[in-house]
Amino acid sequence: MNLDLLSRVPLFEGLSQAQLKNLAGVCETERVPRGKYVFREGEPGASMYVVVEGRVRISRQLPGMGEEALAILQPGEAFGEMAVVEEGMRSADALAHEGEAVLLRIGRDPLDQLLFTDKELAYSVLWALVRTLSGRLRDTNEKMKALFAMSKF
């Protein structure tokens, strides 16, 4: 497992080598062929992912409008984090976009067990999750304001 890649993921920046090694122990490699879905909107989620190789497109289906691409993720970027925080349905599609996507999958249960045994790691990762999800909420609010402004015309 490449600890350097994990150390560059914003959620895991600043972790010690020992913490990164422990985290790597709960990661599984998954290969997704180009054009295949990692997961679909509405499916139950129990894992988050880190892009190792390739690109992953995150999108949603908007009723009456079709697909809205939200992001094209590059190596080192994480997605699906909400699934390790709560049990719920996926809020978007994730598709292997360019070539085969090589991903690290981190399951909720193994991560929970690791965070339970390493409180410093738990503190660091959970605060990083809060910052990430807060930033996404802020971006969504800005998009909604822009949509409301456009709908007035």
Return the pLDDT at 1: 60
DSSP secondary-structure letter at 10?
G
Q: What is the pLDDT of residue 153?
A: 60
* Predicted pLDDT at 115: 93
Torsion of CA 18, 21, 23, 29, to 10 degrees: 170
pLDDT of residue 63: 81
User: Domain 3-151 belongs to what architecture?
Assistant: Sandwich (2.60)
Strands 37-39 and 93-107: antiparallel
**In the prediction, which pLDDT does 55 show?**
97
pLDDT for position 61: 84
Distance CA 3, CA 11 (A): 13
Query: Quick check: 121 and 22 in contact, CB under 8 A?
Result: yes
Q: What is the pLDDT of residue 141?
A: 83
Residue ranges per structural domain of the chain: 3-151
Residue 111's pLDDT is what? Answer: 95
Tens-level pLDDT at each residue, the chain (153 residues): 678 888 888 888 888 999 999 999 999 999 999 999 999 999 999 999 999 999 999 999 888 777 788 899 999 899 999 899 888 899 999 999 988 999 999 999 999 999 999 999 999 888 888 888 888 888 878 877 877 777 776
Q: How many CB atoms lie within 10 A of CB 68?
A: 12
| Contact present, 81 and 134 (Cβ < 8 Å) | no
pLDDT at residue 150 in the model: 76
* CB neighbour list of residue 137: distance below 8 Å, 6 or more residues apart: none
What per-residue confidence (pLDDT) applies to 95? 97
In this structure, what are the phi and psi dihedrals at residue 81, rounded to the nearest 5 degrees? Answer: -60, -30
pLDDT score, position 131: 87
6, 9, 121, 133: which is closest to 82 by C-alpha? 133
pLDDT of residue 20: 93
